[in-house]
Amino acid sequence: MKKTTQLRAIVTGPELDFLMEAHNGLSAKIVENTGFKGIWASSLTISASMGVRDNNEASWTQILEVLDFMNDAIDIPILLDGDTGYGDFNNVRRLVKKLEQRDISGVCIEDKLFPKRNSLLKNQKQSLADVDEFCGKIKAAKDTQRDDDFVVVARVEALIAGLDVEAALERAYAYREAGADAILIHSKQPDFNEIEQFLKAWDNCHPVVLVPTAYYTTPTDLFRSFNVNTVIWANHSLRAATSSMEDILGRIYREQSILDVEDKIAGVGHIFELQNSRELAIAEKKYMPTGKRDTNTVILAASQGELGVLTDNIPKAMLKVDGKPIIQHQTEAFRRQGTDETIVVCGFEKDKINLDNIIKIENSQYLESGEAYSLFCAKKYLNKETIISFGDIIFKRHMLVDLLNAPADVTIVVDAHSESESRTAYWVRTDVLYAQSFFARSITMVEISTELPIQDRSGEFVGLWKVSKNGARQLADLMARLSETEDLPKMTVADLLRELAKTTSIAVQFVSGSWLDINTIVDLQKASGFTC
């Protein structure tokens, strides 16, 4: 239910209901936790909490700022004690507009002159507004509101100003006709007599709100007997807080210790609860960067490569592109995305792979085995989401970002516009062609092979893929089964993907270029200036 609808039900409903005063976000939260259905945002207590007088010394924009904090802290409605509306009808129009923008559910305006004086001050003259002028404010408020349930309460101060009940009734009738949703009749007499006279004459002709601060000894059931709609406890949270603070702070000052008061005040943990610290902790886990992603990276870099003298004594993955080894371009790309551990499967000249912050795993059978066996050597790291990469490719950042965001258990990256016609490549056929992929929710690998006919090729597997935690488990289980046969050492990654596809749907992430495979000296020259 909208907050405005909640407040309208409180103020105009048939049963007596109550609003409790609050003056900041913390007190508003306590009011809500206590069980009250709505809040009275008191001008007296908000002003007092600022350390200023209740004489419009706090500007209406400062009041709005406090309301923002109060409203954000709670799910119950707020009725603002809007004093005289902070000016004429035009100020009232702007006030209502701004209150609705901040999701404040209603406003109570009183028929005194600006700047107002608090109604309970002793020996203070209370000057009332002209009836017709005040009716204009009410009409302006009702014409301005956009939400039909926004509540406008007209506060009658005739009794406060020393006029009789008849004068109060005359004003109340006029305000009702002007469109007020309810009438607040106010009195500073210590007994119920003049309010009772008003209610008898009023005869339930429109919703009534009372503020029994002065006549607090009146039994609540008496209010019910007159069908009063709402009672406002107008300043009691601030007064309670003030008494407690003066008591506790006085003891601390006198005793110069907090030993005897610590068990008499709210614990810090309770303050954290009121601030909803638990929600922030949950949100931090969801939104805050942790510096590391719970994702491993496995780089297959066991082969020597076939670049002649360039790879006579170093692995192909350690060939330099723009001054850095190929594999260093990769590890830096993975770390930029916050991946956890980087595992490099080494073989040929394994000691030459000497980068910082990597875990080296040896494939001692690299001469007799293929890529699948190198991956098998790193099987213990297939215990979480894992990126798997050939050690001789470099790629653009966006390709890795998109892959990390892929939702499938197994996702491979496929270049739809590969230029690898003159060399051996892992060709992929998909169920959706690249030209139609923009309209597809998912694209699935149908086949992968070095011998796929040209007409069946959707693109080239670039040597970069990802498995989710579940996908990693399935991949590890598959390799464990294959290791019990003589097949695994002979298998390529393409063979492994074909086997995996028998039980798991393999998603395809299409790219167009954005990567390089370093197989020849020409490839190495092309890679110069390639920005990862």
In the numeric block, the tokens 């119920």 are attached to: 192
Q: How many other β-carbons are positioned within 10 Å of the β-carbon of residue 477?
A: 13
3-class SS of residue 259: coil
Structure-token pair, residue 448: 């992968």
In sequence order, what are the beta bridge partners of 413? Answer: 509
Q: How far apart are CA 109 and CA 89, in angstroms?
A: 11
Strand bridging mode 410-415 / 507-511 = parallel
Q: How far apart are CA 267 and CA 283, in angstroms?
A: 24
8 A C-beta contact, residue 353 and residue 326:
no
**H helices of 378-520, where?**
397-404, 469-483, 493-500
- Give catalytic residues, as residue numbers: 54
| CA-to-CA dists, residue 219 to 35, 159, 215, 510, angstroms | 21, 21, 10, 76
Q: How far apart are CA 194 and CA 188, in angstroms?
A: 10
| CA-to-CA dists, residue 312 to 315, 368, 393, 491, angstroms | 8, 18, 19, 25
8 A C-beta contact, residue 299 and residue 342:
yes
Structure-token pair, residue 48: 């007092």
The beta-carbon contacts of 302-307 under 8 Å, at least 24 apart in sequence, are: 302/345, 302/346, 302/347, 302/348, 302/363, 302/366, 302/374, 302/391, 303/347, 303/348, 303/366, 303/391, 303/392, 304/347, 304/348, 304/349, 305/392, 305/519, 306/519, 307/519, 307/520, 307/521, 307/524
| CA-to-CA dists, residue 277 to 211, 259, 298, 455, 464, angstroms | 35, 26, 38, 60, 41
Q: How far apart are CA 372 and CA 496, in angstroms?
A: 7
Q: How many other β-carbons are positioned within 10 Å of the β-carbon of residue 243?
A: 10
Residue 444 is classified by DSSP as B
In sequence order, what are the beta bridge partners of 106? Answer: 79, 151
Strand bridging mode 427-430 / 459-467 = antiparallel
At 170, the amino acid letter reads E
The set of residues, in sequence order, having a beta carbon less than 8 Å from that of 520 and lying 6+ positions away, is: 307
Q: Half-sphere exposure (CA, 13 Å, Cβ side) for 7?
A: 32
Structure-token pair, residue 117: 């004086």
The set of residues, in sequence order, having a beta carbon less than 8 Å from that of 492 and lying 6+ positions away, is: 370, 371, 372, 426
